[in-house]
């Protein structure tokens, strides 16, 4: 869609949030802060920063979160996992992040220390699972607590009933919002929401939107986390091999179309996995008619 065409959906009530990950090199750090500066004018509802299993990125996550809080007006959430940590160690991390200004955590169990596909074992003296972590967080303070949700089921869940029961446990423990694993078939999300509502779960279940930076890499990642790749994605990208500009345009079209369709189905809140890159996210928002807000505040990349 060109800039002169009519936006494909109404955007007056859309809420968006962005996910970032802590950089691992000086070049990646520069890219992150350029991305933050570019996306900040869209005034997201909040941004979140990921956190490695067992606290493997605790310091980079804390540094990133602290800079976002200190140098930008962005409401900033930190991910938190309980893999490889005792309850006391988790409390110490929470207190450190709270002192930095964090009032919103995305509470996740985290991947097994042996990697995706290996058996998960709770740390002795630690939290058993994400629901247990949410309960612990709720006891520590009046935090906003987001959790994960899986429209196509967590890869370790035996069936849909077990998967929904875990989400309900997290809600009963005090979760206030769920952010979904990425998906590309909106009918999958709609069927999931029917099961969620039937289970009596009534917190917002925010769709996680993944603009496709690299389809081949995405397929590898999706195979590990249980997300399906519909055949229509291959069909849309067919013939664009070797043309980076064309593939980026297709990816932006797909993400915008997905959000627009979900919006028509009544969804108004979306969590975008930016992969620390701004162009594709901006192109997606542009196609939706979402523009940077007035009063841009710079400083994140200073």
Distances (CA, A) of 10 to 256, 287, 288: 12, 11, 8
Point out the catalytic residue in the list 13, 19, 156, 190.
Answer: 19
- 94, two tokens: 């929470």
- Catalytic-residue membership of 257: no
**Using H for helix, E for strand and C for coil, what is the string for 89-101?**
HHHHHHHHHHHCC
pLDDT by position in tens, the chain (length 302): 333 344 444 555 799 999 999 999 999 999 999 999 999 999 999 999 998 755 567 899 999 999 999 999 999 999 999 888 899 999 999 999 999 999 999 999 876 555 555 566 667 888 999 999 999 999 999 999 999 999 999 888 889 999 999 999 999 999 999 999 999 999 999 999 999 999 999 999 999 999 999 999 999 989 888 899 999 999 999 999 999 999 999 999 999 999 999 999 999 999 999 999 999 999 999 999 999 985 333 333 32
Instruction: Please give the radius of gyration of the chain, using alpha carbons only, rounded to the nearest integer.
Output: 19
State the DSSP string of 131-148.
HHHHHHHHHH---EEEEE
The count of C-alpha atoms lying within 13 angstroms of the C-alpha of 269, restricted to the half-sphere facing its C-beta, is 11
Sorted by sequence, the CB contacts under 8 Å of residue 267 that are 6+ apart come out as: 207
Q: What are the structural domain ranges in the chain?
A: 15-287
Angle, vertex CA 215, rays to CA 212 and CA 221, nearest 5: 90
Q: How far apart are CA 111 and CA 99, in angstroms?
A: 26
Sorted by sequence, the CB contacts under 8 Å of residue 124 that are 6+ apart come out as: 86
State the DSSP string of 110-133.
---TT-TTSPP-PPTTS-SSHHHH
Give just the sign of the alpha carbon dihedral 37, 42, 45, 51. negative
Neighbours of 290 (CB within 10 A): 18
Neighbours of 107 (CB within 10 A): 30
Q: Which CATH architecture has domain 15-287?
A: Alpha-Beta Barrel (3.20)
Q: What number of residues does the chain have?
A: 302
């Amino acid at each position: 869609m060109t800039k002169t065409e009519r936006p494909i959906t109404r955007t007056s009530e859309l809420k968006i949030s962005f996910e970032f990950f802590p950089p691992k090199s000086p070049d990646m750090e520069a890219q992150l802060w350029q991305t933050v500066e570019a996306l900040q004018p869209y005034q997201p509802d909040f941004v979140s920063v990921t956190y490695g299993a067992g606290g493997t990125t605790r310091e980079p996550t804390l540094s990133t979160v602290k800079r976002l809080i200190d140098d930008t007006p962005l409401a900033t959430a930190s991910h938190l996992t309980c893999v490889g940590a005792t309850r006391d160690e988790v409390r110490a991390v929470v207190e450190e992040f709270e002192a930095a200004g964090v009032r919103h955590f995305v509470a996740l169990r985290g991947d097994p220390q042996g990697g995706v596909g290996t058996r998960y074992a709770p740390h002795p003296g630690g939290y058993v699972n994400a629901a247990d972590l949410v309960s612990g967080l709720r006891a520590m303070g009046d935090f906003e607590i987001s959790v994960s949700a899986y429209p196509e089921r967590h890869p370790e869940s035996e069936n849909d009933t077990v998967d929904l029961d875990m989400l309900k446990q997290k809600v009963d423990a005090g979760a206030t919002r769920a952010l979904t694993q990425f998906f590309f078939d909106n009918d999958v999300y709609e069927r999931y929401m029917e099961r969620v509502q039937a289970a009596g779960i009534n917190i917002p279940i925010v769709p996680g939107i993944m603009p496709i930076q690299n389809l081949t890499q995405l397929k590898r990642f999706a195979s590990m986390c249980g997300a399906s790749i519909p055949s229509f994605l291959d069909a849309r990208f067919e013939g664009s091999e070797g043309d980076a500009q064309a593939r980026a345009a297709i990816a932006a079209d797909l993400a915008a179309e997905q959000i627009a369709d979900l919006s028509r189905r009544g969804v108004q809140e979306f969590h975008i996995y930016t992969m620390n890159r701004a162009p594709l996210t901006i192109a997606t928002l542009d196609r939706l008619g979402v523009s940077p807000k007035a009063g841009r505040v710079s400083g994140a990349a200073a």
